[in-house]
Every structure is written in C-alpha cells, then in structure tokens.
Amino acid sequence: MKQITQTGATNEQAISEALAKLGTTRDQVTIEVVQEAKKGFLGIGAKPAEVLVTVNEIEETQAVEPEPVREETVTVESVLPTEVKQETVTDDSSFIEVEGKESTEEDRVLAINETETYLQTIAEGMKIDDLTVHSTLDGKYVHFQLESKKAAMLIGKRGQTLNALQQLSQLVLNKYSKQFLVAKVDVENYRERRQESLEQLAERMADKAIRTGRKVEFEPMPSYERKVIHHALSTRLDIETFSVGTDPNRYLVIEPLK
C-alpha cells in the first residue's frame, strides 16, 4: 500500500504536496487529517497541518454485454479556466502530412515557442506561477515536459487535465507549423508511470478473468490508455479484449476464452 505523511501551512497545501509526490489525484486516494494547523499566538505554539494520504486500490465493477470495437477517437473536454470549447481529435497515427508544404527550422522553432507560451498562459490561468517547459523535437514529434510544484493540478483526475493540455498544444503547434507535428505533453514522467501501472493492472485483471471465468470491466479511460492494455494483452491466447460505449465513457472489457 502506497502512502505518505505530509505537512503544510494548511490542510489543502499539505494534501496538494502529497498528491504531487505520489503522482496521483484526489479521487484516487484516502486522506486522513492527522493534525489540524494551529496559528498560535504571535507565532508561539504554531503547528503545521499534517495529513496521511493513502493510494486506493482500483475497484472493478460488473461486466456488461460488449459491442464491436470501433475506430477510436479522443473526446477532450478542457477542464481549464479558459474559453476553450470541447474538441474531438483522432489518434495521431491517423494524421497524414500534407504534401507540397515545406517546413523550415524557423517555422518549427516558431511553432514550438508559441506552444510553450500558450502552455504558460494556461498555467497562469490555473494559478500556477512556477511552470517550466522543456521541449525537444524528434522527427515529427515535439515533446513538452512540464515541471511545477503543482504537478497534480497539471495532471488532473485520471490525467484528464494533462490530456486536455496535450490536445490543445496539438492545435496551437500546427497553427504555426507548415507541416504536421505531433505534440506530446507530460508532467514529471506521469505517462511513463501510468503506462507501467496499466500494464501491471492488465495482467492482474486478465488473470482474474481466467480465475473467475467472468468478464472484467475497467473504468472509462481515454483511447491511448485502452490501447496500452490492448497491446499488453495482445499475446495472450486465453482472453480477448474489446471496448464498449462511446467517449468520454468508453471502457475496456477482458473476457476469458472457453
């Protein structure tokens, strides 16, 4: 069981710092206030808030009847405090570069700089004033690595805010680039840690499906996370995986083969 004890000037500050260190979000943990903050008198007797934050185990729900797998899209609803509307964006593998357009190093640098500025503007709107953006170009992929003491806010519930940031960055990046570029946005290697966690969970749930002889249903998750699980279990011959529902509530099911 993963847990951490954290102190702070207030309960909320202690909780935020604990979530950032655990790399998780509030809905995925149990919070116990060990000690309330005390101001004291003229600074005498003051005590910081102290909280115990424990990461919850993921629960599975009952399975439902499946429907055939359809081409997957990601429906991104920004949870950021801006006027940005909901966008539907297909997986980056479906994009085709437009022929006849020539991109220069200057074009790419401009597109990357404008995207970095946009991310900084979004962060300011979220009351995050310590955001640092590191960008690297690898072929058509532009990796934006974000750093902040408020990493949990940038990640959001189940990575929803981070996914929204990535989709919005994609739009800004290609507004200024003459050739198609793919934006990859991450915060303190959250996506790598999330992928490892999903792969481990996939194996456990597949084993459970075989052991119980029943379907196992996951919680709704974005397209790329479902693909991680599909890929992790692609070599197993004793189960099959498929997706059910429509975004943003589309989820994955593991069914044992008889």
How confident is the model at residue 105, as a pLDDT? Answer: 84
Q: Which domains does the chain have, with CATH numbers?
A: 3-55 (3.30.30), 95-188 (3.30.300.20), 191-256 (3.30.1370.50)
Count Cβ atoms within 10 A of the Cβ of residue 248 and give its class: 0-12 exposed, 13-18 middle, 19 or more buried.
Answer: middle
Residue 11 pLDDT: 78
3-state secondary structure of 182: strand
Q: Which residues face 51 on adjacent strands? A: 6, 33
Q: Measure the CA–CA gap between 106 and 226, rounded to whole angstroms.
A: 37
Spatial separation of the C-alpha atoms in residues 145 and 162, rounded to whole Å: 11
Residue 146 CA neighbour count, 13 Å, CB half: 34
Please tell me the predicted confidence (pLDDT) of residue 44: 60
Please give the structure tokens belonging to residue 204: 């456990």
pLDDT at 252: 94
Can you tell me which residue has the tokens 């075989």? 210
Question: CA-to-CA distance for 106 and 116, rounded, in angstroms?
Answer: 15
Say what the pTM is: 0.55
The sign of the torsion formed by the CA atoms of 28, 30, 35, 37 equals positive
pLDDT tens string, the chain, 258 residues long: the values are 677 888 877 877 778 777 777 777 776 777 777 777 776 555 566 678 787 888 876 544 334 333 333 333 333 333 343 433 334 343 444 343 444 455 678 889 999 999 999 999 999 999 999 999 999 999 999 999 999 999 999 999 878 899 899 999 999 999 999 889 999 999 989 999 999 999 999 999 999 999 999 999 998 888 889 999 999 999 999 999 999 998 878 899 999 997
Measured distance CA(93)–CA(18) in Å, rounded: 36
Exposure of 4 in the CB half-sphere (CA atoms within 13 A): 15
Give the span between the Cα atoms of 241 and 231, in whole angstroms. Answer: 10
Q: What is the DSSP pairing of strand 141-147 with strand 182-187?
A: parallel
